[in-house]
Amino acid sequence: MTTFILKLIAIISMTIDHTGLTIGLKYVNGHYYLSGLIPLETYNILRAIGRIAFPIYCYLIVEGYYHTKNVMKYMLRLLVFALISQIPFSLATFKSAANFSTLNVYFTLFLGLVCVYLADIAKKQYYLSKEYLIPNAELYLVGIPIAIILIMILAIFMHTDYDAFGILLILMFYFFRTDVTKPIKDRYNALKFIWLFISMAVAIYVFVKPSELYALIAMLPIALHNRKKGPSMKYVFYAYYPVHLLVLYGIYTLLI
């Protein structure tokens, strides 16, 4: 399964989820109510299917980090699309362009990528410090974990979509990343994948809610990923997020 196929699965799942969110709910005085446009049973099914998308995006952030030629441009691209997507996200989520009480998921992915970048620096410094006497190595090994924790706290205060949990999930995919030179059924890779699955399940149950455990279904297509790129439609996938939110909000306004 190529990266292109993984992205297709993610955007289809995300679109199904956002159909339930945008058309199935209305937002009044700080509270959500069923809009009456979608039956409750259908709404619950749409949102359950939608749980598959976010873990795939978190996984792809980590894979993107290892394959990008310029991580700073990668970060900037995520930040730019976060800014572009905020009004469409606010319209779809809160039915108001001026409601910034929650920031869209691109902000979470951006902060997660920053944390992966910092964690990778710390990991490299750790291995180097074991072989060579590196001055001030403790500044990396202590300072960077503190910086990551502060970024996670920032995500909570900024109310980014999935906030600190989203960053934690991205870091899980980084730390439990399997060896690309070996098949997933290799004992080393299989153990890492099992630990990742268990860690995700515990984190979802503890920090989010049990209904989010549907997200674990995403681990099946992720396990089948062959780490081949497939057709390149990078900016199409980036732009799809704000565009589909605007389309769904337009449908909502026509039906309500």
Stated as kind and residue range, the H or E segment containing 28 is strand 25-28
Is the pLDDT assigned to residue 133 strictly greater than 70?
Answer: no
Q: Report pLDDT for 197.
A: 95
Quickly tell me which residue has 């906030």 as its tokens.
163
Look at residue 239 and give its three-state secondary structure.
helix
Round to whole Å and give the CA distance between 112 and 107: 8
Q: What are phi and psi of 104, to 5 degrees?
A: -70, 170
Mean pLDDT over 156-179 rounds to 94
Q: Which pLDDT tens digit goes with each residue over 229-241?
A: 888 788 999 999 9
Contacts of 194 (CB under 8 A, 6+ apart): none
Contacts of 205 (CB under 8 A, 6+ apart): 213
Provide the CB-side half-sphere exposure for 136 (13 A, CA).
3
Q: Report pLDDT for 134.
A: 60
Residue 221, both tokens: 């297509």
Q: Which pLDDT tens digit goes with each residue over 64-110?
A: 999 999 999 999 999 999 999 999 999 999 999 999 999 999 999 99
Quickly state the pLDDT bin for 204 (edges 50, 70, 90).
very high
Q: Which residues, listed in sequence order, are joined to residue 160 by a DSSP beta bridge?
A: 103
Question: Which is nearest to 23 in space by CA: 211, 240, 250, 214?
Answer: 250
Q: Report pLDDT for 1.
A: 87
Question: Which is nearest to 77 in space by CA: 231, 234, 248?
Answer: 234
Split into its structural domains, the chain has a count of: 1
Q: Provide the whole-model pTM.
A: 0.92
**Amino acid at position 35, single letter:** S
Q: Report pLDDT for 183.
A: 65
Quickly state the pLDDT bin for 221 (edges 50, 70, 90).
very high
Residue 214, both tokens: 């549907």
**Amino acid at position 78, single letter:** L
Residue 8's alpha-carbon distances to 21, 37, 57, 174, 181, in angstroms, are: 20, 27, 11, 22, 25
Radius of gyration of the chain (CA): 19
Q: Report pLDDT for 135.
A: 61
Quickly state the pLDDT bin for 181 (edges 50, 70, 90).
low
Domain range holding 70?
3-255
Round to whole Å and give the CA distance between 129 and 221: 37
Is the pLDDT assigned to residue 182 strictly greater than 80?
Answer: no
Question: Which is nearest to 245 in space by CA: 19, 7, 30?
Answer: 19
